[in-house]
């Protein structure tokens, strides 16, 4: 008698509709690997603020990608990630990949919690995403022609979200990545002003960078009616994390994928061609 093949268990994607999660989900689907998107709007639902939803989201999955919303730098993030990892391992879901952030103490605490859970872990410790300029809140500023932020001439090794996704997919399908912490950066440092200049040149538009004080930045966010806790988080990310602590490059992309990381110029030209920023194509 022929024993029927068992269906492949899905991989749970927390943040599966975000910049990295949707890219990972797309790649996994292209490999015929089933994916379960963990979000409030999906069935079963998942909500970081409602721990009663966690077990149903984890039931029957083989592994999980952990992207914490709104950011691992937020207060309480490490405790939530640790509790989720403990539950996952207890339910037999040991393969966990964490999206982490460089230079964020709370993110490093979350990494430690994950390691202590007994999971087969991989950590992707990332610099600022290039896609923040084309798929996030900074897109509106780019389209307006003025990007105003409370950051000076500090170099940031912007990383491409496609590189992050490629490393995550490799980690899911190859056990050699278990127990690895990859610091993922681009191949060179750029200030935010230099990044905006590259975007302007690629798109053929007049886009200026303006440096704000932290107080001016908070006031501008308040005018947009953002919640106070989100304003505090964004202010911290732009003032503390961008204080120079991350002004160095890492080889995580090449270590994991044996190829160089994508450069910001290539990213800017590709987005400009797509028409997302308007201007010359």
The average pLDDT across 179-203 equals 98
The answer to whether the CB of 185 falls within 8 A of the CB of 156 is no
- Give the model confidence (pLDDT) of 121-140 as tens digits: 999 999 999 999 999 889 99
281 CB-near residues (< 8 Å, 6+ apart): 272, 273, 275
Mean pLDDT score of the chain, rounded to an integer? 94
pLDDT of residue 2: 47
Summarize pLDDT for 140-168 with one digit per residue, the tens: 999 999 999 999 999 999 999 999 999 99
Q: How far apart are CA 14 and CA 11, in angstroms?
A: 10
58 pLDDT above the threshold of 80: yes
CATH of domain 11-273: 3.40.50.720
Q: Per-residue pLDDT averaged across 242-252, rounded?
A: 95
pLDDT of residue 230 exceeding 90, the answer is: no
* pLDDT value of position 6: 55
């Amino acid at each position: 008698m022929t024993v029927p093949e068992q269906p492949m268990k899905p991989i749970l994607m927390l943040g599966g509709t975000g910049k990295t999660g949707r890219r990972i989900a797309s790649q996994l689907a292209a490999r015929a690997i089933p994916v379960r998107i963990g979000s409030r709007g999906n069935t079963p639902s998942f909500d970081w603020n409602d721990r009663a939803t966690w077990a149903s989201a984890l039931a029957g999955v083989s592994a999980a990608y952990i992207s914490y919303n709104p950011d691992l730098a937020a207060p309480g993030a490490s405790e939530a990630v640790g509790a989720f990892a403990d539950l996952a391992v207890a339910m037999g879901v040991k393969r966990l990949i964490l999206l982490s952030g460089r230079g964020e103490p709370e993110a490093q605490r979350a990494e430690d919690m994950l390691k202590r859970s007994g999971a087969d872990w991989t950590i992707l410790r990332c610099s600022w995403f290039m896609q923040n300029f084309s798929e996030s809140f900074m897109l509106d500023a780019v389209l307006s022609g003025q990007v105003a932020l409370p950051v000076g001439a500090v170099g940031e090794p912007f990383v491409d979200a496609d590189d992050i996704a490629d490393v995550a997919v490799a980690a899911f399908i190859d056990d050699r990545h278990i127990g690895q912490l990859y610091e993922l950066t681009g191949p060179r440092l750029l200030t935010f002003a230099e990044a905006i200049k590259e975007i302007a040149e690629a798109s053929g538009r007049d886009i200026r960078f303006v440096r704000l004080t932290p107080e001016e930045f908070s006031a501008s966010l308040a005018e947009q009616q953002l919640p106070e806790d989100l304003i505090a988080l964004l202010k911290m990310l732009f003032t503390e994390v961008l204080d120079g602590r991350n002004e160095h490059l890492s080889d995580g992309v090449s270590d994991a994928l044996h190829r160089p990381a994508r450069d910001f110029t290539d990213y800017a030209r590709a987005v400009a061609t797509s028409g997302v920023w308007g201007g010359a194509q």
